[in-house]
Amino acid sequence: MINSERLWDRLMQLSTIGTCEAGGITRLSFTPEERAAKDLIAGFMKEAGLTVREDEVGNLIGRKEGKNSEAPIVLIGSHIDSVPSGGNFDGPLGVLAGVEVLQTMNEQGVETEHPIEVLAFTDEEGTRFGFGMIGSRGIAGLLQPDELTPQDKDGISIAEAMKQSGLDPEKIKGAARTPGSVKAYVELHIEQGKVLESRGLSVGVVSGVAGPLWLKFVLEGEAGHAGATPMNMRRDPLTAAAEVMLCIEREAARKPVSVGTVGKMQVFPGGVNIIPGRVEFTLDLRDVDKAILDEVEQSIMREAEAICARRNVRLTVELLQRIPPVICSDNIQAAIREACAAEGLETMTLPSGAGHDCMQLVDLCPVGMIFARSRDGISHNPAEFTSKEDCANGAQILYRTALSLANQR
Ligand code: HGY
Ligand code: MN
Ligand code: MN
């Protein structure tokens, strides 16, 4: 049985790193806050009796040897970076539960055939650079040196931020795991939705993960005097953007699962008495079904082009990231269900609307996820909360699942 008090205490310790005035946690990748979090977790990993290292892209790794040290590794874990003013559980629950699982095995003298490693991925959220899952892309060998150019709001590139964090961007390929070297990846994560809570369930089995498509829309019209320019003589990119945003909402709402969100917008030059000259905003579009995601994307693009043509506004759209939806391994889903049955926990199978690091690993190894209930379904918000009992249940299911997979031939 995992030690739920120790897990909760560590979650609370980690939640003190990156607190911000706006409330919640802001712990962005390759920042001093993330470094402090990694140092704290490295200490927990050492207490757990693990071999601790940081790989070439900045992932923190704790390893428990198996009877057969050459056998493919079972990976568990999650991410430690956050969104701005985020919550305490999105990422940290999976990382600290992973440490707790391996510490419990070591304390109880439990040996497994396969080695097990717990990972604290860097930059899953993509908040700082508009390009996410850097850590898991590195592990999967998908991260290319030319992808390290995106800059944050202060003009610092990913490569520069890595250097500032003590990493060498020229060596990122060193983090890649060779095909066949990883047996499975299992992540415990908060649901970030209301389904488990609505069914009165503590934990869930994830069937698949929706693929996030991120686009940057740039609309250019003509800046002008707010008082001296008649309404019929304007080329206002902001009112055009408003029409496009309502089109996004309408097209995404047409489908049962699709979701479309405009989360960031900038207006230039940005004066009370100036008709804007340029507007930039982001689109986050998702569905678990790639064909439907493509269909919604195409209808939005058609309508956006028509709106901008009618308003004589220039539209350009930049791809920030396109991550295909993934299906979780049947074998891992079965291991999670068996673990729930062994613990006497009723469960259900559900898709994840949120994206996760497992999406990057799906070509490297079979992947699976365990969900823990989110109170009121709130996440990416300081009010994000998962109870001590639900955290413990999730960690216990992770324990049993990792044990089962690490002893499978
Ligand atoms: O955006 C997401 O779905 C995840 O929280 N990175
Ligand atoms: Mn997450
Ligand atoms: Mn998140």
DSSP 139-198: HHT---GGGG--B-TTS-BHHHHHHHTT--GGGGGGGPPPTTSEEEEEEEEE--SSHHHH
CATH number at 238 reads 3.30.70.360
> 220 with 190, same domain?
no
What confidence score (pLDDT) does residue 266 get? 97
CA of 126 to the centre of ligand 3 (A): 9
What confidence score (pLDDT) does residue 409 get? 77
> Helices in 311-374 by DSSP H: which ranges?
330-343, 358-361
> 205 with 313, same domain?
no
Please answer whether residues 137 and 172 qualify as being in contact, where contact means their C-beta atoms are separated by less than 8 angstroms. Answer: no
Domain of residue 295 covers 211-322
Q: How many CB atoms lie within 10 A of CB 16?
A: 12
* Of 122, 108, 95, residue with least CA distance to 391: 95
Q: What does the alpha-carbon distance between residue 211 and residue 360 come to, in Å, rounded to a whole number?
A: 11
> 25 with 127, same domain?
yes
Tokens, residue 246: 């309502």
Q: Which ligand is nearest to the CA of 87?
A: 3
| Atom of ligand 1 at shortest range from CA of 355 | 3
Q: What does the alpha-carbon distance between residue 287 and residue 208 come to, in Å, rounded to a whole number?
A: 10
Residue to probe by mutation, ligand 1, list 379, 380, 381, most atoms within 8 Å of CB? 380
Query: Can the peptide bond before residue 169 be classed as cis, meaning omega within 30 degrees of 0?
Result: no
With tokens 């678990």, the residue in question is 288
Low-confidence ranges of the chain (pLDDT < 70): none
Q: What does the alpha-carbon distance between residue 369 and residue 351 come to, in Å, rounded to a whole number?
A: 10
Contacts of 341 (CB under 8 A, 6+ apart): none
> 143 with 104, same domain?
yes
Q: Which of 303, 322, 341 is the last residue of a domain?
A: 322
CA of 147 to the centre of ligand 3 (A): 21
Which residue, judged by its Cα, is nearest atom 4 of ligand 1?
A: 355
Q: Which ligand is nearest to the CA of 133?
A: 1
Encode pLDDT of 117-131 as tens digits. 999 999 999 999 988
CA of 79 to the centre of ligand 2 (A): 7
Q: Which of 322, 345, 367 is the last residue of a domain?
A: 322
Whole-Å CA distances, 100 to 245, 395, 408: 44, 8, 21
Amino acid letter for position 142: L
Residue to probe by mutation, ligand 1, list 29, 122, 125, most atoms within 8 Å of CB? 125
What confidence score (pLDDT) does residue 373 get? 98
Q: What does the alpha-carbon distance between residue 37 and residue 88 come to, in Å, rounded to a whole number?
A: 12
Tell me whether strands 326-327 and 203-209 are parallel, antiparallel or unpaired: antiparallel
Which three-class secondary structure state does DSSP give residue 113?
Answer: coil
Residue to probe by mutation, ligand 1, list 25, 81, 287, 356, most atoms within 8 Å of CB? 356
> 122 with 247, same domain?
no
* Of 106, 101, 103, 104, residue with least CA distance to 78: 101
Which residue, judged by its Cα, is nearest atom 6 of ligand 1?
A: 125
CA of 277 to the centre of ligand 1 (A): 31
Instruction: Give me Rg for the CA atoms of the chain.
Output: 22
Tallying the residues shown for the chain, one arrives at 409
> 242 with 304, same domain?
yes
Q: Which of 322, 343, 370 is the last residue of a domain?
A: 322
Phi, psi of 183 (to 5 degrees): -85, -40
| Atom of ligand 1 at shortest range from CA of 133 | 6
CA of 381 to the centre of ligand 3 (A): 10
CA of 178 to the centre of ligand 3 (A): 27
What confidence score (pLDDT) does residue 349 get? 97
> 172 with 298, same domain?
no
End-to-end Cα distance, the chain: 24
> 341 with 317, same domain?
no
CA of 369 to the centre of ligand 1 (A): 14
> 202 with 229, same domain?
no
Q: What does the alpha-carbon distance between residue 319 and residue 213 come to, in Å, rounded to a whole number?
A: 8
> 90 with 199, same domain?
yes
> 174 with 308, same domain?
no
| Atom of ligand 1 at shortest range from CA of 126 | 6
> 157 with 114, same domain?
yes
Which three-class secondary structure state does DSSP give residue 104?
Answer: helix
CATH number at 337 reads 3.40.630.10
Contacts of 43 (CB under 8 A, 6+ apart): none
What confidence score (pLDDT) does residue 257 get? 87
| Atom of ligand 1 at shortest range from CA of 90 | 5
- Give the number of domains in the chain: 2
Encode pLDDT of 49-104 as tens digits. 999 999 999 999 999 999 998 999 999 999 999 999 999 999 999 999 999 999 99
Q: Which ligand is nearest to the CA of 92?
A: 2
Contacts of 298 (CB under 8 A, 6+ apart): none
Ligand 1-lining residues (CB < 6 angstroms): 124-125, 132, 212, 354-355
Whole-model pTM? 0.88
CA of 210 to the centre of ligand 1 (A): 10
Q: Where are the beta strands (DSSP E) in 226-348?
A: 259-261, 265-268, 274-275, 278-287, 314-322, 326-327
